[in-house]
Structure 1
């Protein structure tokens, strides 16, 4: 985010003050880059990792925080890759070469000049034009060129796009679809100021370029305006927008979490992680849980947590939580019950075993659930002798407490005797 938030950089000028909410956001960016590299270099068969990191709204790269200078996202990403390279080298006798390219994009020439000067002062000057590319343009205008650069680098297309826009329409959904469609392994972390959109929504916005950018047409807007007359309208519209994002960005996996800026909750925004792989969603989810009390998830515990039910008070059993121990316990309890009902319904329908991956893929986008929470629920159900869990080879997982993605889950007895389901329903 840049000048629209009061962030402005001029070579030789004063540094902008970093907002508290951005501190946590930058920490997420930093941690995720490290987790991403660690995940992709776990196998000892991996000898090199080709990666492109794109910061689409990079700013000048340095701020003031409580009177001290702190790095912005460009320098933090550079440092995160360097740190991960050292960690991987220390853990692997033969090492792994991380071939990372960085693309820093900003439409403000002052910001670009400041960043270039900063990188040179920090000892990265020789890398500019080699593995660090500074692009003075709007991200929308150069997205196609960035995609093509990634395609030319190799066939895996491993890429991270950090699109920390101010507002909700500086990155079009068509561009995100282009990223997801043209690249094999892209991930997008998108800032989306959902409260700003919801609060401003009115008839006069119909047909505007801003709404067209996110594929909202006349009927969509009118439907959401009608929701404003309903109980729990704000969360209902937020859920509707989230479903719209799922349908229109071309990603398979999503992680939606709220950030509360300083000054009140009427300016909440989403940090959305979009990807095409379940493991990517899992790693981002684990980072959110590790940073408890920083982000919030609005919804009920467990699966299917974002759905709006007109016959219930929208506030009933809402988590509104900061990913702490209490929230995790509630999620684990809820998943035991929900998983029992899910498997019971599948058995009645004559469906076969369900893999952990299929379970995760079909429900994780609407929940704060990660694999360890699912594993804890499966252990409880197995110990109650309600389910059987088997490896792809057919061997039963009798004692393990961490299950593989392709392990198969099935009822161990007739549905009518499903004890956890009966106990929870009673």
Structure 2
């Protein structure tokens, strides 16, 4: 089914929302709330500056086809989620006996290229009580995201280039954001994060990645896969699972080589209300951000799945040792994994087998934080999952763990502790 853009007109009813977008909006809301809570755990943080950029905002409200009620779009949902995140942080602090008030200092940029949609968004948010904030901490920009991007980056840089910022790029506008723009975001804003979506089918994803590579970058790896396996699909009947697996492998290489992001999650998102589905990709330069998003995947287990293995190397190979995945793996050997309890058990068991082999490669030991950085992009596991397995190996005396001052650990592992295999493990 082709992807179509929505149109809003003042005086008319808002368009119907595609049911596949419901899960996406839930991810947006819950990630933002979780993001705020995680980054405000330090009780000494009293104010937290944050910039949120919704790059393709639409008219701000839809008709819900399930009951014909009004369904708020991403702008209002982000505004409310930020408020909820701030309130939850203060409630958490109160429950911990901390009475230092936390204040979120958020700025919002809502961008829409169609004039009629832009006017509708302005009208809708005014009716929701936000007109007094226009051009103060809430900016409604008319035009294409790529045309506004440099000005937005400059706005953030003037307030400090280390300011936290989240970019939301939805599946309708994604084809208009080439990789050079994404690289510019990460090179100029080191604490930026990007959440983008891609269509579910291989041909559509190939087209989108070709558009993103139009700035002269390398040809999409998904396109390479598409051409190399086309005859296999003709000879054998392949399921939609096969297509999704091909896309996930291709995404892994494309994002690594083209986006400039150090960390990412290329997982598949499905809607319980619709047979439409797509890829939700999270990009960042910090392993903690990647970990927070992966935690959300496990929390929203009914929405997410992936097509690799359950352990440290879900793509079937160690990317530290292979320069290109093309031709190195069997693209049709995997199965679909969800993020449910059974998947968690399989993940832990596989990591239990793989982790000693990885740590053995570092005879002088490796800090736990660096260990997680080594595997973050290739595992569906969270840092907590890996630490639980490492702690079990410590208690089994298969690992030796030392603190920063060379103190021996016996029970727990901290992020800066050094892990190494014991002589027992080596033998």
The 5-angstrom pairing of residues 185-224 of structure 1 reads 185-193=191-199, 195-197=201-203, 211-213=213-215, 215-217=217-219, 221=223, 224=226
Residue 33 (structure 2) aligns with: 34
1:360 deviation in Å?
A: 1.3
Match of residue 390 from structure 1: 402
Picking from 348, 361, 377, the partner of 1:332 is 348
Question: Which secondary structure state, in structure 2, belongs to the residue aligned with residue 250 of structure 1?
Answer: coil
Identify the match of residue 112 of structure 1 among 115, 118, 121.
Answer: 118
- Residue deviations 1:83-137 (CA, integer Å, cap 9, x gap): 1222333424221221100000111112111111111111111001111000111
TM-score (norm 1): 0.86
Change (3 A) 1:144 1:377: same
Correspondence for 1:424 = none
- The count of residues paired between Structure 1 and Structure 2 equals 403
Q: Matched residue of 2:372: which SS?
A: helix
Contact 2:8 2:116 in 1 (8 A): yes
Q: Paired residue for 2:381?
A: 369
Q: Distance in 1 between matches of 2:27 and 2:216?
A: 25
Q: Distance in 1 between matches of 2:109 and 2:220?
A: 36
CA distance in 2, matches of 1:223, 1:317: 16
Q: Which runs of 5+ in 2 are unaligned?
A: 318-324
CA distance in 2, matches of 1:146, 1:362: 33
Aligned to 2:57: 58
1:286 matched to 2:286? The reply is no
Matched, 1:240 2:240: no
Structure 1 partner of 2:144: 138
How big is the shift at 1:333? 0.5
1:257 is paired with a residue whose SS is strand
- Superimposed CA distance per residue, residues 202-225 of structure 1 (whole angstroms, 9 cap, x where no aligned partner): xxx99x756515834399855641
Deviation, structure 1 residue 242: 2.3
SS at match of 2:337: coil
* Residue 226 (structure 1) shift: 2.3
What is the CA–CA distance in structure 2 between the aligned matches of 1:124 and 1:104, rounded to whole Å?
13
Instruction: Answer whether contact 1:227 1:237 (CA < 8 A) is retained.
Output: no
SS in 2 for 1:189: strand
1:17 Cα offset (Å): 2.2
SS at match of 2:359: helix
More deviation, 176-185/31-40: 31-40
* Change in 2 beyond 3 A, CA 1:411/1:210: closer
Q: Which moved more, 1:285-294 or 1:357-366?
A: 357-366
Correspondence 1:99-178 to 2 at 5 A: 99-166=105-172, 168-178=174-184
What SS does the corresponding residue of 2:129 show, helix, strand or coil? coil
Structure-2-length-normalised TM-score: 0.86
The reply on whether 1:86 has 2:87 as its aligned counterpart is yes
Aligned to 1:409: 419
Q: CA deviation at 1:313?
A: 5.8
List alignment gaps of at least 5 residues for structure 1. 418-426
Q: Give me the CA root mean square deviation.
A: 2.8
Distance 1:392 1:176, change over 3 A: same
| Distance of 2:220 and 2:390 partners within structure 1 | 45
| Equivalent-residue separation in structure 2 for 1:311 and 1:47 (angstroms) | 50
Which residue of 1 is the match for residue 371 of structure 2?
Answer: 359
**CA distance change for structure 1 residues 241 and 39 in 2, over 3 Å: closer, same or farther?**
closer
Tell me which moved more, 12-21 or 255-264. 255-264
Relative to structure 1, the CA distance from residue 55 to residue 286 in structure 2 (aligned partners, 3 Å threshold; closer, same or farther) is same
1:423 is aligned to none
